[in-house]
Structure 1
Amino acid sequence: MVLRFMLLMATLPLLAVGSTVHADDWPSPVQALIEEGLEIHGEFEAPDGLVGYAASHQGREMTVFVTANGQHAIVGTMIDAEGNDLSEAPLDELVRAPQEGELWHQLEKSHWIQDGPTDAPHVVYTFTDPNCPYCRQFWQQSRPWVEAGDVQLRHIMVGVLQPDSPAKASALLGAEDPVTALHDHSGGESVTPSAQPRHIEDRVYRNNQLFDELGLYATPTTVYRHEGRLQRVDGMPEAAKLREMMGGAHP
């Protein structure tokens, strides 16, 4: 199943974005909404003397429009005479883009095995369980792009499917050559679960935590950039989606 990535972002803490207005200077209606639990991410110009605020509450994004006198606020979507949604662009800029940037940074800091050249123009993160047959299938289907140098897959190793999955994931992360170990395993060789140093096992534990915190449920789950935005695919992608994930047609 393919999801717009903003749905996943609702599971993360929302990020406050710098605004030209100090918190003590919020208009009274905005301050009242803040006291009710609304989080303000930024301010933007709106038509007809209104001041807009990009906001969120419990993962739900919304815009707030304050009248010129600062005494009244309208919570909702603004539409112009042509039916264009004037709330989407501010929410993209002030809420979604910062959230997606933070999520990408979290993925960068996770513990992964590099599959593909360092200078590949397209980076893709995928949560991989050693006991997942679909992870192997995804690895195999991605070979043309990886071997052509177009894509670097970063396998975030998790242990979530079977009781011995954490030990197998640790064995791959702790291998003398993790890249070769993952390559051999994905190509069909079995991996033997084995005790690893505490810091290696802790890496798998932290990856599992991230998997849970993001509300993920399937492996592989893959995150990538497309047209400047983050996208997520749960499970094996269809052919058209695979091409999008890999950044283009089959090499």
Structure 2
Amino acid sequence: MFKKYFALFSAFPLLAFASEPLPLAVQQVEKQGVKIIKEIKTEGGLRGWVGQYQDMGVTVWLTPDGKHAVSGYLYDEKGQNLSEAVFNQEIYIPQGRKLWEQLSAAKSIKEGNPAAKRKIVVFADPFCPYCKQFWAAAQPWVASGKVELNTLLVAVLNPKSGPYASSILNAADPAKAWSEYELSNGKKRPKSTEGTTKETFNILQYNQKLMDETGANATPAIYYMNEKNELQQVIGMPDEKQLEAMFGPK
């Protein structure tokens, strides 16, 4: 599901037209639940529209007689899927940028330089071993001041995930509490006399909702913006190449 936000962008010549009534055949497609976004024109001369059905991009093409509409991908003679490029430019990349704004605005555990150009958001469960590995792998970049790491705690893996996450969020210094917890391999966590407060419960609920909206179904779920200002996602423990892509060279 989440691939819609950050699929690779490739060049595709587009021309936006002034708003005018849709051809009747295209209106029939719209009645099927497709939200028509804008009219586009390709080098091949086809008249077409880009739209969205639920979470997926749709391209609609009008036949020369103007009486029939065809919905589907457009390919060139080299086999390149031109429709996907349109979806990326008009739907997925803009949606990814909006999602990044939500991720950045969420109440996270912040580590590193707040002025760093590279910012990473990760959904993590206190009982996730790969989250611990990722946290440890990120520390050299965090310590260098090149990266700000923003952790959004969720409770998905263990019945104790919620209480553990709550005690960390309730700590006087959540970033320190999270660091000590990870360094101790989950053995050291702050004692909480408050339990799960309404505030921490709401934070965990919101984080879970936000994670669901990204389409992620496992932790760590990691997000960052690449050099093209496109949202990227990595699920699970990244390899060395992925780490360098998100954090930059050491």
Q: Give the TM-score normalised by structure 2.
A: 0.83
Specify the alignment match of 2:238 in structure 1: 237
Specify the alignment match of 2:19 in structure 1: 21
Mark the CA change 1:79 to 1:173 in structure 2 (over 3 Å): closer, same or farther. same
Specify the alignment match of 2:46 in structure 1: 50
CA contact (8 A) 1:125 1:155 kept: yes
CA contact (8 A) 1:168 1:193 kept: no
- SS of match in other structure, 2:82: coil
Following superposition, the deviation at residue 236 of structure 1 comes to 0.8
CA contact (8 A) 1:49 1:67 kept: no
- SS of match in other structure, 2:103: helix
- The letter of the residue matching 1:238 is D
- SS of match in other structure, 1:87: helix
Specify the alignment match of 1:190 in structure 2: 188
Following superposition, the deviation at residue 180 of structure 1 comes to 1.3
Following superposition, the deviation at residue 75 of structure 1 comes to 2.0
Instruction: Indicate whether 1:98 and 2:99 are aligned.
Output: no
Q: How does 1:42-121 map to 2 (within 5 A)?
A: 42-47=38-43, 49-67=45-63, 70-121=66-117
- SS of match in other structure, 2:166: helix
Following superposition, the deviation at residue 119 of structure 1 comes to 0.7
- The letter of the residue matching 2:201 is E
Specify the alignment match of 1:201 in structure 2: 201
Q: Give the TM-score normalised by structure 1.
A: 0.83
- The letter of the residue matching 2:188 is S
Percent identity over the alignment is 34
Aligned counterparts of 1:207 and 1:4: Cα–Cα separation in 2: 16
Aligned counterparts of 1:96 and 1:177: Cα–Cα separation in 2: 37
CA contact (8 A) 1:8 1:215 kept: no
- SS of match in other structure, 1:101: helix
Aligned counterparts of 1:6 and 1:133: Cα–Cα separation in 2: 28
- The letter of the residue matching 1:135 is C
Q: How does 1:125-140 map to 2 (within 5 A)?
A: 125-140=121-136
Aligned counterparts of 1:42 and 1:63: Cα–Cα separation in 2: 10
Aligned counterparts of 1:213 and 1:46: Cα–Cα separation in 2: 32
- The letter of the residue matching 1:65 is W
Q: How does 1:1-20 map to 2 (within 5 A)?
A: 5-6=3-4, 20=18
CA contact (8 A) 1:49 1:68 kept: no
Aligned counterparts of 2:222 and 2:18: Cα–Cα separation in 1: 37
**What runs of 5+ residues in structure 2 fail to find an aligned partner?**
8-15
- The answer to which of 46-55 and 94-103 deviates more is 46-55
- SS of match in other structure, 1:184: helix
- The list of structure 1 runs, each at least 4 consecutive aligned residues, that deviate by more than 6 angstroms after superposition, is none
Q: How does 1:205-216 map to 2 (within 5 A)?
A: 205-216=205-216
Specify the alignment match of 1:149 in structure 2: 145
Following superposition, the deviation at residue 197 of structure 1 comes to 3.1
Following superposition, the deviation at residue 121 of structure 1 comes to 0.9
Q: Deviation per CA, 1:149-182: give whole Å up to 9, x if none.
A: 1111110111111112112212222221112111
